[in-house]
Amino acid sequence: MLGDTNSVPSVTRRLLHTGRKFNFEMLTVSAPGKKSLEREVVRHPGAVIVLPLTASESGPEVVMIRNWRLSVEDWMWELPAGTLEKGEDPLVCAGRELEEETGFRAATIEPLCRFHTSPGLSDELMWAFVARGLTPGPQRLEVDEHVTVHRLSAYECVRRAEQGEMSDAKSMLVLLLAARRGLI
């Protein structure tokens, strides 16, 4: 047997750092008959990602952003996304992030899926939504955000994901899932 899914290891937690958005913990994991080990974990409040869709004469378009990410020190193609505020409903967060990052408001926002972004190092759970009936308006970027807005054909977005021109996993997942489900 590769692993006993009926036995649950015991875990003790020690807070290492309280950050502005995330906390960092040291977990000590003990299981009967195994050596204890320690792992650092990022505690995350959760996040959303939005697939904003518009229609054009040539077919569906996606509102994408080019986002300068400090962690990789480069521009990335992404769908609008953001972190949940304490106690915030993911649907409310999706509308807020869409408007802040792109300037667009949506007539409808519907759930697509939810997923853990990187369970090997974080407990972040991300909710994905599809936004339609977009009305343009001004962006409301946070002071540390550098974002430009682009409308691309759904075909072009999927092509970029498949050809490696996009490296943001959350955006790739949502685009490819939407394509597979026939939404774009």
Nearest Cα to 157, choosing from 165, 148, 147? 165
Give me the active site residues, please.
Answer: 145
Chain-centroid distance, C-alpha 172: 10
CA dihedral over 64, 127, 172, 167, signed as positive or negative: positive
Please state the φ and ψ torsions of residue 153, each to the nearest 5 degrees. Answer: -65, 150
**Which DSSP category does 122 fall into?**
B
Cα(117)–Cα(168) distance, integer angstroms: 11
Cα(38)–Cα(26) distance, integer angstroms: 7
Q: Give the pairing of strands 81-83 and 74-78.
A: unpaired
CA–CA distance from 8 to each of 3, 11, 31, 38 (Å)? 11, 9, 7, 16
Say if residues 22 and 123 touch (Cβ distance below 8 Å).
Answer: no
